[in-house]
Structure 1
Amino acid sequence: MSNIGLIIEERSRDIGDFLVGRLLPFRKKRMIGPFIFIDHMGPTQLGPEKYMDVDQHPHIGLSTLTFMLEGELLHEDGLGTSQLIKPGSVNWMVAGKGVSHTERTPNHLRNGKTFTAHGYQIWVALPKELEDMDPEFHHFDQEELPKWLDGEASFTLVAGEGYGKKSPVPVHSHLFMIEVKTKNGTHRLDAEKQLKGEIGICVVEGNITACGETVPKGNILVSKVEDSCKVTLGPNTHVLLFGGEPYAEERHIYWNFVSSDKDKIEKAKTDWAAKTFPMMENDDSYVPLPGS
């Protein structure tokens, strides 16, 4: 997914053990572990006059993680990938030194009917020594992801490691992303000794209670204490836990480019504007560099 000037610094606030904001990055916190950007797609009604069509755009220095909750997307890229993603599955694209891709509503959903599209596009910065690695793409169906129950709560390990389990998604740094859902009851979430590094909580549906305050859906909480996170999930609540060990070096971000080196971002900007960036062979669409 292209971040076309849509990184908006929402107001954030301090409620004790947590910072609370609406998007990543936000004012008081630029990254959570290696996670540098989270885009909430929808939920929105699509079809027959409105579809999701993100034309060809570039990335460097990061991995994109696409996680759909409702609806489907077709991912295509300069590696020759053509992969449909359905709810609960994972698309993991490593941009490395540079790759272009598109994400569009698949043809079988362009049938005149309406449907809901809802999901998350997440960017994970690569370690400095891997920022120039060759691009890769991986897909995993939801059945391949580790799942377990803890009382009233169901868990899915989307990526990384946590709770003594490991996702098959081939990540390149110490991180975790975990989906947690409750039904009728509440659930006391205690991640101490279960997750390593910085911890963020994205409230997708329902609400959670932290430090005596109730935080509704649409917010992201960031724990100020590493390796510890004690909150209570309300009934019918859906959250994403994400984070990991932060990098020692600062990351710079411009449009769809992430790097520890500003010169690499400037080169990517020049290459994309000149169309000398690695392009897709079978797609001539093109999202211009902002301001060009």
Structure 2
Amino acid sequence: MADRLKQVTSHFTNSCPNGLLNGEVVIVTGAAQGIGRSCALLFAKEGAKVVVSDLDEAKAQKVVEEIKSAGGDAIAVGGDVGADDFPEKILKATIDKYGKLNHIVNNAGFTYDKMLHTMPDEAFDVIMKIHVRAPFRLVRAAAPLFRVKGGSKENRSIVNVSSIAGLHGNVGQANYSAAKAAVTGMTKTIAKEWGGFGVRANTIAFGFVQTRLTAAKEKGEAIIINGKPVALGIPGGAGGNGGKPVPGIPLGRPASTDEAANGVLFLISPLASYVSGHTLEVTGGSGI
């Protein structure tokens, strides 16, 4: 067994001596913090050239500096993913700098929680705009780069971030749950329409990951939407349950952002070369 393990490890090391994503170009939205930041850092470590995008360009630039200080290559592109000119802006910056695009990771998003019977239209509409319309428009704008006649031998894919809320619903998140469910249907459609061009499309559904969206709302984290602050987090905080096992999660704990990023790396890497139209649940077993 030990000898076989050495053979397998050697095979991947020899096949990808400079990383699983060596020379590939990846756009990651919402990459200034949380899961997006962990994705950007991990992809760069695996040899990718990373386009770090975020609403807060200053924070995105700090991630770029981290990547460059570690010997990687990245650029920052600030902007609201929901803005009409965002797709053209980020794609132009990507092609001007790197000349190609291999992967898009649609990760940007936030929560705007209200009970269904008290949820205003604006809370529903903005979540749908950022989590569904924005990824749709970015992927659509990138079509000429992916729908290459005759296909391409390069590794190319789309990963759209969903949530366990999109699979099972969640109290206080009718808007978020609806949006994340829609992401799955959209991704499967991309997989069917673009598979003939050698492009894979997958969804990743996260459970309880330790980010600002699951931290204590009392900390005061907020995002400005349409000029108004929207509080982030959960009243009292999801925390780690005081070190005790977290109910409903077989593994008994939340995921770190690095663990979440590992799942995305798998989906965009050559290791998932025959995986398309799939929803990978990174939930510690929640919902089974």
- The answer to whether the superposition gives a TM-score over 0.5 is no
* Higher percent of residues as helix: 2
* Higher percent of residues as strand: 1
Q: What is the TM-score with the length of structure 1 in the denominator? A: 0.28
Q: What is the TM-score with the length of structure 2 in the denominator? A: 0.29
Q: Which has the higher contact order (CA 8 A, sep 6+)?
A: 1
